[in-house]
A and B are shown apart, each in its own frame.
Chain A
Amino acid sequence: MPSAPEGMNRTGNHQMIHPLLPTPSLWQTKVRDTIPARFAWPLFWNGDQFCWDLTWEEISECSSRRAMGVCGCCGALRPRYKRLVDNIFPEDPEDGLVKTNMEKLTFYALSAPEKLDRIGAYLSERLIRDVGRHRYGYVCIAMEALDQLLMACHCQSINLFVESFLKMVAKLLESEKSNLQILGTNSFVKFANIEEDTPSYHRSYDFFVSRFSEMCHSSHDELEIRTKIRMSGIKGLQGVVRKTVNDELQANIWDPQHMDKIVPSLLFNLQHAEEAESRSPSPLQATEKEKESPTELAERCLRELLGRAAYGNIKNAIKPVLIHLDNHSLWEPKTFAIRCFKIIMYSIQPQHSHLVIQQLLGHLDANSKSAATVRAGIVEVLSEAAVIAASGSVGPTVLEVFNTLLRQLRLSIDYELTGSYDCAVVSTKIIKEHEERMFQEAVIKTTGSFASTLPTYQRSEVMLFIMSKVPLPSLHHAIDAGKAGENRNRLTQIMLLKSLLQVSTGFQCSNMLTALPSSFLDRLLSAALMEDADLRLFVLEILISFIDRHGNRPKFSTISTINDISVLKLKVDKCSRQDTVFMKKHSQQLYRHIYLTSKEESNVQPHYEALYSMLALISIELANEEVVVDLIRLVLAVQEIAQINEDNLPVYNRCALYALGAAYLNLISQLTTVPAFCQHIHEVLETRQKEAPYLLPEDVFVEMPRLTKSLDHLVPEVFFRQSKISEVLGGSGYNSDRLSTPYIPQLTDEDRLSKRKSIGETISLQVEVESRNSPEKEERAPAEEITYETLKKAIVDSVAVEEQERERRRLVVEKFQKAPFEEIAAHCGARASLLQSKLNQIFEITIRPPPSPSGTITAAYGQPQNHSIPVYEMKFPDLCVY
């Protein structure tokens, strides 16, 4: 029989003792030393019956009613619950819990739930005593009993019982013995899985969170025990989370004070996966392979935690992750950081994923001055996270995301150029150029992966945004002067265009007109981006990725003259109406760009390849008859560049242009399937093959171009002739008039004034400037003798005509720009009324109105008129005038 606790006055249930009774410590200890427990419960006369089953209170109540003398025999009384509790402990702790007595206790607790808290208190008292006396066998038994009671009695009365229970767990956790810590944790985990229906406002888990987090960091000497303690810690944390996460009234587990402990503890265990596995597993561990490692457990716990995080809690949960990665410098090898964020992104509720992205972006900003490798790590993580979050990654602030990335890009360029993080302060850190480069590449890649998650309309918005950030010389933006400024501009332009290229790859717009608005195209095609060979190539690539919507691009990656294009298996759709409108509006700009780009001396093979792809893709994606005609004219004009050679291009460039023309005309002739056209092209190609193979792509666009020394003495048969082409195509219904007119690039104001300034907005009037007054050009064969005089005349003439045309255009534009709105309206209105009267006349001639024209007309003007009005009576609404 267990001896009575010392200091019963301190730990006993004081309020049970009636004030009239003598101090319990005195008589309890005295009597119990002499009477065995099972006989300690005397018969008690209660009115007219003997009571065996009276509780302590009942007896003390009775005794207070009677004379004090009766109490003498009450000295041996022990409350029944205590007796039941005592009985579950065996004589020898090795024997384990006395099962039958435990059943009795459980039955008693179930039938008298109000006693549960006292049972708990007594059990805990015994347990604390046993811990103090190192009687661990009894400790285990007490815990087992508690667990069983807890499981049996999960009802509303559990609340008070839990108090004692938690105190016992805490007591076990305070111990230095790992066994007790684990025992306590296991009980706690069982408890955590019970759902309580009554909240307990005053319960606090501070100690548990602190202690479990500490256990997660256990540094016990023995690996096996250390692993066990760490696992216990993780399970404990999981328990706390489960217990509290759903109950707003309980301790808020999402507070930073808890999160700052829980999250790093889990990450710490997650991070040590390799370390633990690399140690040779003992045979014991090998057999328990099915058991989880701390790493797996930590991962599961982290997932559970994040899965439960609500909108407002994400921040508190993610911040410790970022700080942990900072502190343990885990951005640099980045595998762990990526793993962490993969876990986060996959387990978090998808509608919250943009919050994570935002926090990462914020962290990137906060780390602006950290080493490039750290920033690169963060950006890589961002890129991975964005892919997982897919459509949810960007959230409501689309441009903010890209703005941050572009800002980082610019900062990095600055760092690279200035060589320090801060211009004013001499930085101690050395900036490594190649690391900055790596960072920039990472940012560009990330920009791409973000953009790929966006819907089409947002993507083109983003592209506009990026384009607007490209520094271009204009009136509004003074460009940095000086060599450094120019260098910086160039780098910025390159980086931004690269990002743009990333964003545009894989972009499939159904409507070119909305995807490529004038504001975008104007900037992209601006002269400033044409001077530099790299930039020029980027611009071409971006255009190509826009135009190529059927993945035909790879088929044109090498320039060649193949006999049968069917081997390419081109995917061709009919050019849509919107595309036709787009070409009407912007084709001249595009042609001009192609023309001017081909003229550049610094072009190398990739440029020509890009030009070829561009021409080919326009022909496939956007071509109608008119466009085909224009493209042929354009290519012939390009041939002329090489032929006349005003710019003194080197032989390579000229050959390349000839070859480009040959390849394209070969392609287009087969696309148009006009036999005579194909015939002509074929003939020229054959002649070249014999006479001048260096004018064919097969000889030019190879690693070692086989060129000739001089291109001065070429026979006319090696050239494609405009007159011939217009003749053969005219026969097949193509516009031969237009075909026979040589292409001259449309000049913009930008060119006219200077290459460095542009006039605010160029109103694009679709007036084709054609110099019809130079018939020589049409007829001119290369062999024909051209004198200086004729050339001069031709140029002066065409310029004069052009000047007139331009003047007229300017007047019109000016009128529309300067005249008050009413005046323009009146002008148009006058025309409209003229039309109206004409229409009235026509309608008067016809006696009866057509049966149902009103429907179509009202629909066309969007007027909700349901009743039929004869068309001739209908007035055009005023709005239509404007």
Chain B
Amino acid sequence: MSMEDYDFLFKIVLIGNAGVGKTCLVRRFTQGLFPPGQGATIGVDFMIKTVEIKGEKVKLQIWDTAGQERFRSITQSYYRSANALILTYDITCEESFRCLPEWLREIEQYASNKVITVLVGNKIDLAEKREVSKQRAEEFSEAQNMYYLETSAKESDNVEKLFLDLACRLISEARQNTLVNNVASPLPGEGKSISYLTCCNFN
């Protein structure tokens, strides 16, 4: 009955310090490329990718936010409607890891309480410059009850896995919820049942 070109729609927001590779992760996933010398994101960036998981079409609306402090207020306004947050840090940058608690506080404050958060350590291709050990990150994510993954946008390591795993989790999460339609909040204009049930068909 649905006229949509998807079965599920999820909003995913990427957050994390400036320069940890959020935009590159999204580009790699949605366009399959790694833009060298990617400039700082201004405000927010938007991408769409539809994937198929176990026969279900899942549309992922990905909002890539600027890490810079000066855009913090506008990026925060995007957390609220997110179904999932990808909290990214750079494994070669201790500072970006140390800022994580601060980010968690922001999530606590601005995001919905049902949001799924994934911790991502990016840039594993630069293993020789690693400053944050995997174990430390795992311990941290465990303590915070987060799913943890290490990726490389450059080598395309774990990038697909990150988004597909996330989509799977979102689907199962949505299924658990009896009101499936409400979780993937409908796009504007999706009148769904109302429009056709009330319409007279035969005259």
- Residues of chain A touching chain B, judged by Cβ–Cβ distance below 8 Å, are 10-11, 14-16, 57-58, 61, 114, 117, 121, 124-125, 128, 132, 160, 162-167, 169-170, 174-176, 202-208, 210-211, 213-214, 216-219, 256-257, 260-261, 264-265, 268, 320, 323-324, 327-329
| CB under 8 Å from chain A, chain B span 38-64 | 39, 41-48, 61, 63
From A165, A176, A261, contact of B189 by CB (8 A)? A165
Return the CB mask of B15-46 against A: 1 if under 8 Å, else 0: 00000000000000000000000010111111
From A14, A219, A260, contact of B73 by CB (8 A)? A260
Return the CB mask of B168-193 against A: 1 if under 8 Å, else 0: 00000000000000000111111100
| CB under 8 Å from chain A, chain B span 140-190 | 185-190
Cα-based distance from A162 to B43 in the complex (angstroms): 30
Closest B residue by C-beta to A226: B42
Cα-based distance from A574 to B45 in the complex (angstroms): 73
With a CB–CB cut-off of 8 A, which chain A residues contact B42? 217-219, 268
Provide 25 A-B residue pairs closer than 8 Å at the C-beta atoms, listed in order of the A residue.
Answer: A11-B5, A16-B201, A57-B202, A114-B203, A121-B3, A132-B5, A163-B190, A164-B189, A170-B187, A170-B188, A204-B185, A204-B188, A205-B188, A210-B63, A210-B81, A213-B43, A214-B46, A217-B42, A265-B74, A268-B74, A320-B73, A323-B73, A327-B73, A328-B70, A329-B70
Do the beta carbons of B190 and A167 come within 8 Å of each other?
A: yes
Min C-beta distance of B19 to chain A, whole Å? 15
Do A114 and B200 contact each other (CB < 8 Å), given the known contacts A203-B188, A206-B81, A265-B74?
yes
Closest A residue by C-beta to B31: A176
With a CB–CB cut-off of 8 A, which chain B residues contact A205? 188
Do the beta carbons of B188 and A327 come within 8 Å of each other?
A: no
With a CB–CB cut-off of 8 A, which chain A residues contact B185? 204, 206
With a CB–CB cut-off of 8 A, which chain A residues contact B46? 210-211, 214
Cα-based distance from A216 to B46 in the complex (angstroms): 12
With a CB–CB cut-off of 8 A, which chain A residues contact B74? 213, 217, 260-261, 264-265, 268, 324
Min C-beta distance of B69 to chain A, whole Å? 7
Cα-based distance from A738 to B61 in the complex (angstroms): 95
Do the beta carbons of B43 and A265 come within 8 Å of each other?
A: yes
Do the beta carbons of B43 and A327 come within 8 Å of each other?
A: no
In the A-B complex, the 3 residue pairs with the smallest Cβ-Cβ separation, listed nearest first, are: A217-B43, A166-B189, A260-B77
Cα-based distance from A57 to B188 in the complex (angstroms): 29
With a CB–CB cut-off of 8 A, which chain A residues contact B196? 15
Do the beta carbons of B199 and A117 come within 8 Å of each other?
A: yes
Do A202 and B39 contact each other (CB < 8 Å), given the known contacts A213-B74, A261-B74, A264-B74?
no
Cα-based distance from A163 to B81 in the complex (angstroms): 21
Min C-beta distance of A120 to chain B, whole Å? 10
Cα-based distance from A58 to B3 in the complex (angstroms): 23
Since A114-B200, A217-B43 are in contact, a sample of 10 more A-B pairs with Cβ atoms closer than 8 Å, ordered by chain A residue number, is A117-B199, A163-B190, A166-B188, A170-B188, A176-B48, A202-B191, A210-B78, A219-B45, A268-B43, A324-B73
Cα-based distance from A741 to B181 in the complex (angstroms): 100
With a CB–CB cut-off of 8 A, which chain B residues contact A213? 43-44, 74
Cα-based distance from A174 to B194 in the complex (angstroms): 25
Residue from B2, B41, B73 with most neighbouring chain A CB atoms (10 Å): B73
Do the beta carbons of B73 and A257 come within 8 Å of each other?
A: no
Cα-based distance from A205 to B71 in the complex (angstroms): 22
B195 at the interface (CB under 8 A from A): yes
Cα-based distance from A402 to B3 in the complex (angstroms): 61
With a CB–CB cut-off of 8 A, which chain B residues contact A217? 42-45, 74
With a CB–CB cut-off of 8 A, which chain A residues contact B1? 14-15
| CB under 8 Å from chain A, chain B span 77-95 | 77-78, 80-81
Residue from B71, B188, B196, B200 with most neighbouring chain A CB atoms (10 Å): B188
Do the beta carbons of A207 and B187 come within 8 Å of each other?
A: yes
With a CB–CB cut-off of 8 A, which chain A residues contact B189? 162-167, 169-170, 203
Min C-beta distance of A340 to chain B, whole Å? 15
B98 at the interface (CB under 8 A from A): no
Min C-beta distance of A236 to chain B, whole Å? 12
Cα-based distance from A329 to B189 in the complex (angstroms): 39
Cα-based distance from A18 to B46 in the complex (angstroms): 42
Do the beta carbons of B77 and A61 come within 8 Å of each other?
A: no
With a CB–CB cut-off of 8 A, which chain B residues contact A14? 1
With a CB–CB cut-off of 8 A, which chain B residues contact A128? 5
With a CB–CB cut-off of 8 A, which chain A residues contact B73? 260, 264, 320, 323-324, 327
B96 at the interface (CB under 8 A from A): no
Do the beta carbons of A160 and B199 come within 8 Å of each other?
A: yes
Closest B residue by C-beta to A162: B189
Min C-beta distance of B63 to chain A, whole Å? 7
Do A160 and B195 contact each other (CB < 8 Å), given the known contacts A121-B3, A327-B69?
yes
Do the beta carbons of A57 and B5 come within 8 Å of each other?
A: no
Cα-based distance from A325 to B185 in the complex (angstroms): 32
Min C-beta distance of B134 to chain A, whole Å? 33
With a CB–CB cut-off of 8 A, which chain A residues contact B70? 327-329
Do the beta carbons of A15 and B47 come within 8 Å of each other?
A: no
Do the beta carbons of A327 and B39 come within 8 Å of each other?
A: no
Cα-based distance from A132 to B71 in the complex (angstroms): 33
With a CB–CB cut-off of 8 A, which chain A residues contact B47? 176
With a CB–CB cut-off of 8 A, which chain A residues contact B69? 327
Min C-beta distance of A637 to chain B, whole Å? 67
B129 at the interface (CB under 8 A from A): no
With a CB–CB cut-off of 8 A, which chain B residues contact A114? 199-200, 203
Residue from B48, B74, B194 with most neighbouring chain A CB atoms (10 Å): B74
Cα-based distance from A289 to B42 in the complex (angstroms): 26
Closest A residue by C-beta to B43: A217
Closest B residue by C-beta to A56: B201
With a CB–CB cut-off of 8 A, which chain A residues contact B80? 257
Cα-based distance from A257 to B191 in the complex (angstroms): 23
With a CB–CB cut-off of 8 A, which chain A residues contact B61? 174, 207
With a CB–CB cut-off of 8 A, which chain A residues contact B39? 219
Min C-beta distance of B136 to chain A, whole Å? 29
Cα-based distance from A256 to B76 in the complex (angstroms): 11
Do A257 and B77 contact each other (CB < 8 Å), given the known contacts A166-B188, A202-B191, A207-B188?
yes
Do the beta carbons of A163 and B5 come within 8 Å of each other?
A: no
Do A174 and B43 contact each other (CB < 8 Å), given the known contacts A210-B63, A210-B78?
no
With a CB–CB cut-off of 8 A, which chain A residues contact B3? 11, 121, 124-125, 167
Min C-beta distance of B105 to chain A, whole Å? 17
Min C-beta distance of B66 to chain A, whole Å? 8
Min C-beta distance of A16 to chain B, whole Å? 7
Closest B residue by C-beta to A256: B77
Min C-beta distance of B167 to chain A, whole Å? 17
Closest B residue by C-beta to A114: B200
Cα-based distance from A559 to B77 in the complex (angstroms): 65
With a CB–CB cut-off of 8 A, which chain B residues contact A323? 73
Do the beta carbons of A208 and B188 come within 8 Å of each other?
A: yes
With a CB–CB cut-off of 8 A, which chain A residues contact B191? 160, 163, 202
Min C-beta distance of B139 to chain A, whole Å? 32
Do the beta carbons of A261 and B78 come within 8 Å of each other?
A: yes
Cα-based distance from A132 to B45 in the complex (angstroms): 21
With a CB–CB cut-off of 8 A, which chain B residues contact A176? 47-48
| CB under 8 Å from chain A, chain B span 88-147 | none
Cα-based distance from A10 to B195 in the complex (angstroms): 18
Do the beta carbons of B41 and A219 come within 8 Å of each other?
A: yes
With a CB–CB cut-off of 8 A, which chain A residues contact B78? 210, 261
Min C-beta distance of B172 to chain A, whole Å? 23
With a CB–CB cut-off of 8 A, which chain B residues contact A218? 42
Cα-based distance from A208 to B195 in the complex (angstroms): 21
Min C-beta distance of B57 to chain A, whole Å? 9
Do the beta carbons of A214 and B44 come within 8 Å of each other?
A: yes
Cα-based distance from A846 to B3 in the complex (angstroms): 110
Do A174 and B48 contact each other (CB < 8 Å), given the known contacts A11-B3, A121-B3, A210-B78?
yes
With a CB–CB cut-off of 8 A, which chain A residues contact B43? 213-214, 216-217, 264-265, 268
With a CB–CB cut-off of 8 A, which chain A residues contact B199? 114, 117, 160
Cα-based distance from A206 to B186 in the complex (angstroms): 10
Closest B residue by C-beta to A160: B195
Cα-based distance from A515 to B63 in the complex (angstroms): 62
Closest A residue by C-beta to B57: A10
